[in-house]
Amino acid sequence: MNRLLLSALLVLTGAANLQAQLNPAELEEAAEFARRVGKSAVAGPQRNFAEALEVDSILERSLGASTWRGLAERQREQLRWAVRDHFLQALASPRNAASGEVAWSWAVPSSSSNETAEVILGLKFGERTLKTRWVVRRAGGGWRVADVIFSDPGISLAESSVRALGPEPVRRRERQKEAERVAYPRLAGIVVIGLLVAVVAPRLQRGKRVLLFLTAAAPAALFLVDGALAVQRTLSERYALAPGPARQAWREPEQRALDAERDGRPAEARRHWAQAIAQGEPAGPVHYEMGLSARQRGDLEEARADFERALAERRPAPGSAKELAAMNIAQSRFEHAERDLQRYLALTGPDPESVSMLAVVETNLGKTSEALDAIRQARAIVGEGWRGAELEAQVHARAGDAAGAVDALRPLEAQGKLDRSILRADPAYLPIATDPLWVAFLNEKPSTARPAPTKASEEKSAVRDR
């Protein structure tokens, strides 16, 4: 009986958890919210993003609930401003670049909370696309942004914004002693004014003496009022804020490392990067940056070592797995590339480029079905674009499926994006180069209407759809 009761409770608990998961409509709502505030962050108005950011939760988690509640509203507002400003600066368009845009998005439920979704946004700045992960949480009747993560270096803006406040952004006050310290300078000012009046007044005529008293009364009153307010504020506030955002010690060696990289001094840059890590900069993003620099100058062995170090950190830089995959593809090490890409996608979620890369790898490994699934996912992320159609056709071609390749390319003809001369020269289509269906397709005139599908084409499409 007890076992039956326990089993029933487990089933009910599982059903409740399943019911609490965000449904597809809620996920699309979260994705639409993230796209809207993401666009406001990179293209404006930034006020919309700032209002959607869950600043209080970020600070409360970092400082502790009791400390956050113990701050005066004036102090809380100062910290909110600093965190918002950090997010906005990190997401702003690069200098001298056009405003950004949201190129694509993909939403999944968060594993950490039933009320949270993770929306992967591709933020495009000119020719460069930045992959980001937006953690959005249901709040009341809407959504709020809990964090934005730069996917490839693995940088959380929530964490880095709090870290930028310094090692001790808030400290408990010794109120009595601090009240005395702020009062003494004001009292000293009042005493000095009184002494000056006492020395000068006897030497003046009666009429001028009155003018002296009135003149001295103004600064004395200011000292008195300012001192009273400062003492009252000190006694009423249990905590004191740091004077301003601290400059992290590692910023200086980081800048020297970037300058050395730019000037072509890699050995010196590595020394500065090591200093930055020793002074507190997260190691994963640093090794990832070093790997990118090494790969750019052609030192592939050093780049591979840097990327592997970046992945071995407690907080890895996921983009290193993608870079290793690209290096392994270039060396035809497709099994290793598949493993690296699967790890990258598990850490960061899907994006069109990585999923398409995985499709190419799986095609070379003979995994045609998996490759087609990957291409379909890439096309679902970006829509029915020409790049997805081209990649799907190449997957079919490498599997020897000429009918599938032709069907994938047909929509491009209507869009005016099909160049048969390029297809003839593309080695990806060599496996079907002599197939009659493919030869006939290449020999068609661009203006001809699509021919009726052959029986073989229909049979192959039916098999593919299953």
Average pLDDT over residues 180-209: 67
Given this model, what pLDDT does residue 353 score?
Answer: 85
Q: Are strands 142-150 and 155-156 parallel, antiparallel or unpaired?
A: antiparallel
Any idea what the Cα angle at residue 339 is, between residues 337 and 343, rounded to 5°?
Answer: 115
- Categorize the per-residue pLDDT at 429 as very low, low, confident or very high, splitting at 50, 70 and 90: confident
Given this model, what pLDDT does residue 234 score?
Answer: 59
Q: With beta carbons less than 8 A apart as the criterion, state whether 272 and 256 touch.
A: yes
Given this model, what pLDDT does residue 453 score?
Answer: 43
Bridge partner residues of 53 (DSSP):
145
Token pair for residue 166? Answer: 């310094």
Q: Look at residue 118 and give its three-state secondary structure.
A: strand
Residue 294 has pLDDT above 50, yes or no: yes
Residue 250 has pLDDT above 70, yes or no: yes
Given this model, what pLDDT does residue 131 score?
Answer: 95
Given this model, what pLDDT does residue 398 score?
Answer: 75
Query: What is the per-residue DSSP string for 148-176?
Result: EEETTTTEEHHHHHHHTT-S-SEEE--HH
d(CA 56, CA 146): 10
d(CA 251, CA 262): 17
d(CA 150, CA 152): 6
- Categorize the per-residue pLDDT at 74 as very low, low, confident or very high, splitting at 50, 70 and 90: confident
Window from 44-53, 292-301, 416-425, 454-463 with minimum mean pLDDT: 454-463
d(CA 48, CA 37): 6
Residue 402 has pLDDT above 80, yes or no: yes
Place of tokens 């905590």: 239
Task: Looking at 237-333, list the stretches that DSSP marks H as alpha helix, in order from N- to C-terminal side.
Answer: 251-262, 266-278, 283-296, 300-312, 319-330
d(CA 327, CA 344): 14
Any idea what the Cα angle at residue 276 is, between residues 272 and 277, rounded to 5°?
Answer: 120
d(CA 253, CA 270): 10
Q: Is the pTM of this model over 0.75?
A: no
Amino acid at position 5, single letter: L
Bridge partner residues of 106 (DSSP):
120
Percent of the residues in the chain that have a pLDDT greater than 90, as a whole number: 33
Residues 302-324: pLDDT tens digits? 999 999 999 999 999 999 999 99
Residues 121-140: pLDDT tens digits? 999 888 788 999 999 998 88
Average pLDDT over residues 417-428: 84
